[in-house]
């Protein structure tokens, strides 16, 4: 089963996919959207779901460090409902705390330039979200 991981931002949609065995997550790209344009984000995801035969989605749920949820969490929950209504597949919300920080750390370790880090951070964060979910299933 192929699973899509999503790191949803106000202007970007980072995406990663699992292998068919559900063991490894790999980043596939970041799509830019107009600020808070969930319909554009939905269109991007629909295309990937169709092209790659996605059967489940793991959507990052932003939480504050104390576990509380704010505006961004509500934004992601709205997107979850849109995905479920449009695509008719299971969408799982998964805690994404510190994934962006981890993505930056990995890229710094790989000695990527600031420009490359900025261009890749969302898809790397999506990969971390998806890999964390896959690891939790074992």
Parse the chain into domains and list their residue ranges.
2-136
Contact 21, 60 (CB under 8 A): no
How high is the mean pLDDT in each 10-residue block of the chain (138 residues)? Answer: 94 96 95 95 97 96 79 92 97 83 71 72 89 92
Strand (E) positions, the chain?
2-8, 12-18, 25-32, 54-61, 90-95
Question: Does 2-136 carry CATH code 3.10.20.30?
Answer: no
In this predicted structure, what is the pLDDT of residue 71?
A: 80
Angle at 8 between CA 31 and CA 16, to 5 degrees: 65
pLDDT of residue 105: 78
């Amino acid at each position: 089963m192929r699973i899509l991981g999503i790191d949803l931002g106000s202007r970007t949609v980072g995406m990663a996919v699992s292998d068919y065995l559900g063991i490894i997550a790999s980043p596939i790209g970041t799509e830019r959207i107009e600020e808070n344009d969930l319909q554009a984000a939905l269109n991007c995801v629909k295309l990937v779901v169709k092209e790659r035969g996605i059967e489940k989605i793991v959507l990052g749920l932003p939480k504050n460090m104390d576990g509380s949820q704010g505006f961004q969490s509500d934004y992601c929950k709205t997107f979850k409902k849109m995905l479920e209504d449009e695509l008719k597949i299971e969408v799982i919300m998964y805690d994404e705390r510190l994934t962006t920080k981890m993505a930056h750390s990995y890229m710094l370790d790989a000695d990527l330039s600031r420009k490359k880090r900025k261009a890749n951070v969302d898809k790397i964060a999506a990969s971390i979200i998806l890999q964390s979910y896959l690891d939790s299933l074992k």
